Structure 1
Amino acid sequence: MELKKITTRVLAAGVAAATLFSVAACGSSSNSADTKDDGSEMTVDVFDSLANSQGVQKGWYAKLIKDKFNIKLNIIAPNVSGGDTVFDTRSAAGNLGDLVITSTGNGRLNKLVKAKLIEDMTPYYSSMKNVKKYDNAVKSITKEAGKDGVWGIPQAASSQSPTDPSEGIEPGSAPYIRWEYYKEVGYPEIKDLDSFLDVLKQMQDKARQETGQNDIYAFSLFKDWDSDVMQNAAAICSWYGYKQQGSLFIGPDGKDIQSATKEGGIYQKALAFLNKAESMGLVDPDSTTQDWDTMQTKVSNGKTLVSLWSWLGKPRMNSNENKAKGVGFMLAPLEDMDVYSDGFTPDGDGSYMIAIGSKAKNKARLAKFIDWLYSPEGIYASASNAGGAACPKDLGCFTTDSDGKNPKLTEFGNTAMNGDHANLKVPAKLGGGTYDDGLSKLNFKAVQQNDIDPNTGEAYNAQMWKSEQDDSALFKDWSAHMGNAKNDIDYLQTNNKLAVAAGASYTAPEEDSTISATRSSIKSATVQASWQSVTAKNDAAFTKTLKDLRTKVDELGYKSVLKVDQDNAKALVKAREAVIKEAK
């Protein structure tokens, strides 16, 4: 699954934000059923913390929801413009939006309820048949809100086991390499990270020799997504089963919880790996200054040999044409990896939800729209990843047998999922424009993509359909050298290299403003030192940079932040244990 951009999850905190919520509380919420809806066309303002583009929804998705609900979506995206200031300003005005897609963490949900900025959907809930299938997920939001009522519906709900990997056929973060160059250097053994770098040096030399281009690098990095730590290094920690939460890295079984500043810890191991890559000339020199957009363009142009994520390299390089020639990114056989995998979340991903704004008109119609998002039709239509995840049947993406089983991609659907979807034309009667133009701007994943469609009996994700198994030259060569694996997850599970963390819904409680201020200083210091360590000229400079960081964060008051993060990590581990027990 591709993420166009990682959304920043910095929440409004402190006295200023509290004041804004206090002002908003002067407004009122009807908390009652709507007056009669005349059915006329309605422009719906959507405050959307997950959206990566804003403005009026266009194209085939706009046509679909216009025909079904007679609504137009106008997306207000703080990620695009304004950041948290947009949230603060609209909250102070008492009207966040007609629909609200936002985080629940750090006490935000509780504040939204107290400030009467979102509506209790209880009057409409009995008719929300699709949402009610995930009733436990809805209850998790009620619990987080601290007040009875249906205040929001969490994203990423699921009907599958929390201990099964939710990614389907490929993990999110794992070592992916340009397989054709790995083949050309003789499929060398990759025992650990050190030998991985040796292999990558051979691959880089081969790629430059063949193309005559000396600007091809194993790694091309970027800073856009840095938060508590250097995000690119955190992705490498996932290759060994560790998930970042705040300033900590948590093993999937919860037995090992490490600080990012731990000497010799998993995060320092990732930084040391990147530093050695830098010293070997394997890191793009633009890495410290370029952004995501520049970096991903280089991946598309064949300038990068490693993809930190499956959804970065594969969608940009593994076209049908390339795969037929044996060209593209495939999972590397890193022998000591133990790749992190999120389990399915029966209670949903409680960190983000969709709600109805208290000042919205025609709330019953908006509740129907939300319910549709959780229906099979809505799930197929509303996926918004540019890799082509959205595959609605009404758009002509797939067909089924007469009994509704055995889904198969059409020529249009195959291009949407695997080909040049950016230039794929949509018929005027279905909305016109291109396929990509019409992708939902909401970027809200109601149900996990690899959950099962009750109508077909197969996953919503077309990559997992029986009819769509990869038979390209690239896949066949990869499989032949990976124990005849059916896909990436199959290889990892068969070889005990997949660390599944139970899919538990957990949202960190509101953080004290003093802790938030201290955390902000520690974030800056940690990220700055991380990049400095990656570009350090020798081992002594690398070691000194991280030693100085440990001293600095201690002086900044890291002990208090560490205590909060440790408590949150322990709570997450307990939530994982609880969801496993509940599923039995």
Structure 2
Amino acid sequence: MSIKRMAAAAAVGALAVASLSGCSLITGDQPQQADGSAGASGSFPESWDETITIDVFDGLANYMGVQSGWFAKIVKDKFNMELNIIAPNVAGGGDTLYNTRVAAGDLGDLIITDKGQKLDELIEGGLVLDSSAYYDQMEHAPRFDAAVDKLNEENEGVYAFPTSVSSIKPTESSEGLEPTFGPYLRWDYYAELGYPEVGTLEDLLPVLADMQEAHPTGDNGQQAYALSLFKDWDGNFMNNAKQPATFYGFDEVGFVLAQADGSEYQSIIDPDSAYVRSLRFFHEANQLGLVDPESTTQNYDTMFTKYQNGQVLFSFWPWLGQAAYNTPEHTAEGRGFGMVDMADQRIFSYGAEVYGAKQVLAIGANAEDPERIAAFIDWLYSPEGAYANGSQTGAAAGPQGLNWEIGDDGEPALTEFGTEALLTGEATVPEEWGGGAYRDGVSALNVTVVLPADVDPDTGYPYSYTFWPSFQETQANPFTEDWSAHMGGATSTMEFLEANDQITVAPGAGYTAPADTSEIETLRNQIKASIVQYSWQLVFAEDDAQFESLLAEMKTTAEGLGYDKVYDFDLEKAEAQNEARVEVAAEFG
């Protein structure tokens, strides 16, 4: 029994005298606490008589308003509860909205936020409920006791619940059949060239140039480019220029690029860094006319539309190129994005998070019915909840009986409706399941509570339908068959990478970096603005001489603004992160 489970009973008395507004209406003869709960030693009630609407303050949500559609119906049927999503991403001025609600003493009934400093501040401010008593009533969340304990180890209670948890070893990839990063190109155009060998990142340039020359326009007749970029996600540096570094095992920690195995750390402004290598790659591509000139002004959505229209030939991520272009119609015609075998790549992969990811769930201190919210949280960890909530990413299979069912052979398989819904998102949901477009009814929480690659204990298969033999058997098409035939017979990208030692997994340690001090924050804000500005100028430099001049200026300017001090701060975080990875690999590996 975990520490938190043993502590639960001791917290019942404190909970019973707590002054919480509202009460839940319990059916049956279960003993009730002063707040109307069923008590910590039992289970949650099977039904609630009164309909409630809870405010969900969700730092990740991309939807504002009351959850609708099929997910809303499941939640309403099980908990007689509606979810009113408060999304700073949609409302605009996210920090202002957050600060205003915190100042008012009520952030939300259910809170989805970052662990670390932000969560600590909410706990210290009394805005988050200690859910210890309810934790003892939970049936499903305790399957991930290690993550719950780790998350709450510095607090005497259960103030938060982890996300993206998994029973998969932290030394194994969390990413399913496709990695998060990788060099993906229009495979059909690559095939036309005779599948030329690609030894390095730079070797991609003549291949992409030949592809663009052969196909200068997209499906819509508009100009096509090998590369199309965007600025939306720029932060400590130019986001797009970080992506090729991941092909070589690096990920970012502030101004540091850190190898997944902790073997190397680089300063992004070092002339020999993987970041500067990417800038050189983009600059050379632009000199060849391969970079979309609208890259400096367009946003992600505009660029995504170009992928859909066949106007872009290379993608840093499978979830960009493949998601936009690999439709059933296109792949049936042999068209689509596939990862190329770049001989020197060692693609960075995120290991399964045994302690959970960055985001957490918490119950607001002023929640109207905390027990019901606790029951909802527990449900999210259940197989039913993992399937339903996890479908927001397109990975988990969604509700059983609608999207999938168990076949006569005892294996899960998508229904005809599920195939249409999950592959297109456009299917119309039957009225008994909530009606409307399937896409409009997916969970608006936008956070994965149980990793879709984790195994459903009831079926023995992952929650992600992409792993199911029944699904894989239906997905053979001219595109996948050609890709497999020229990738050693691999049936998935991840299978190829693992078989050819072209992936490096960073163990999932759930590391939380310390927040910037006020001094570091001030310095960082000035430095990163300068680095981003110079980086875009470097990509579009007129010639190599101007590139080298701007590169020297970027380094000198950054150092003059205090770069070294911030870099040292980030390097300490990167090293601490690796220590955590080493420890978790030794403990669970």
Report what 1:283 is aligned to: 291
Report what 1:237 is aligned to: 245
The SS at the match of 2:281 is: helix
Alpha carbons of structure 1 residues 173 and 210: separation in structure 2 relative to 1, 3 Å: closer
Written as runs of structure 1 = structure 2, the 5 A alignment for 1:75-224 is 75-81=85-91, 82-105=93-116, 107-143=117-153, 146-208=154-216, 213=221, 215-224=223-232
Alignment check: 8 A CA contact 1:108 1:510 kept: no
Which of 529, 535, 547 pairs up with 1:530?
A: 535
Give the partner amino acid of 1:356.
I
Task: Give the Cα separation in 1 of the matches to 2:515 and 2:190.
Answer: 48
- TM-score norm. by structure 2 comes to 0.90
The SS at the match of 1:393 is: coil
Task: Give the Cα separation in 2 of the matches to 1:332 and 1:274.
Answer: 18
**Unpaired runs of at least 5, structure 2:** 1-17, 24-32, 38-47
Pairing 1:497–2:508 present: no
Task: Give the Cα separation in 1 of the matches to 2:356 and 2:222.
Answer: 46
Task: Give the Cα separation in 2 of the matches to 1:42 and 1:87.
Answer: 23
Alignment check: 8 A CA contact 2:219 2:310 kept: no
Give the partner amino acid of 2:405.
T
Give 1:468 shift.
1.4
Alpha carbons of structure 1 residues 244 and 262: separation in structure 2 relative to 1, 3 Å: same
Give 1:395 shift.
5.3
Report what 1:396 is aligned to: 402
Alignment check: 8 A CA contact 2:230 2:299 kept: yes
Report what 1:357 is aligned to: 364
Give the partner amino acid of 1:509.
P
Pairing 1:36–2:36 present: yes
Task: Give the Cα separation in 1 of the matches to 2:217 and 2:142.
Answer: 59
**Deviates most, 507-516 or 167-176:** 507-516
Give the partner amino acid of 1:538.
D
Task: Give the Cα separation in 2 of the matches to 1:507 and 1:212.
Answer: 45
Written as runs of structure 1 = structure 2, the 5 A alignment for 1:559-574 is 559-574=564-579
Pairing 1:64–2:74 present: yes
Task: Give the Cα separation in 2 of the matches to 1:359 and 1:401.
Answer: 45
Task: Give the Cα separation in 2 of the matches to 1:148 and 1:212.
Answer: 60
Give the partner amino acid of 1:60.
W
Alignment check: 8 A CA contact 1:248 1:260 kept: yes
The SS at the match of 2:587 is: helix
Alpha carbons of structure 1 residues 29 and 502: separation in structure 2 relative to 1, 3 Å: farther
Alignment check: 8 A CA contact 1:29 1:118 kept: no
Q: Deviations over 1:1-43 (max 9, x none)?
A: xxxxxxxxxxxxxxxxxxxxxxxxxxx9869967126641111
Report what 2:8 is aligned to: none
Task: Give the Cα separation in 1 of the matches to 2:408 and 2:453.
Answer: 23
Written as runs of structure 1 = structure 2, the 5 A alignment for 1:435-450 is 435-450=438-453
Q: Deviations over 1:283-311 (max 9, x none)?
A: 11111000011111111111111111111
Give 1:385 shift.
3.7
Give the partner amino acid of 2:100.
T
Alignment check: 8 A CA contact 2:252 2:258 kept: yes
The SS at the match of 2:190 is: helix
The SS at the match of 2:85 is: strand
Give 1:212 shift.
9.0
User: Percent identity among equivalent residues?
Assistant: 43
The SS at the match of 1:537 is: coil
**Unpaired runs of at least 5, structure 1:** 1-27
Task: Give the Cα separation in 2 of the matches to 1:574 and 1:389.
Answer: 31
Q: Aligned pair count? A: 549
Which of 267, 274, 280 pairs up with 1:259?
A: 267
Alignment check: 8 A CA contact 2:391 2:398 kept: no
Give 1:401 shift.
3.2
Give 1:137 shift.
0.8
Give the partner amino acid of 1:346.
V
Task: Give the Cα separation in 1 of the matches to 2:138 and 2:151.
Answer: 16
The SS at the match of 1:193 is: coil
Pairing 1:475–2:475 present: no
The SS at the match of 1:348 is: coil
Task: Give the Cα separation in 2 of the matches to 1:80 and 1:34.
Answer: 38
Pairing 1:552–2:557 present: yes
The SS at the match of 1:549 is: helix
Give 1:335 shift.
1.3
Alignment check: 8 A CA contact 1:343 1:502 kept: yes
RMSD: 1.8
Q: Deviations over 1:34-54 (max 9, x none)?
A: 712664111110110111121
Task: Give the Cα separation in 1 of the matches to 2:127 and 2:115.
Answer: 13
Alignment check: 8 A CA contact 2:349 2:506 kept: yes
Task: Give the Cα separation in 1 of the matches to 2:220 and 2:466.
Answer: 35
Q: Deviations over 1:179-200 (max 9, x none)?
A: 1111112111111122211001
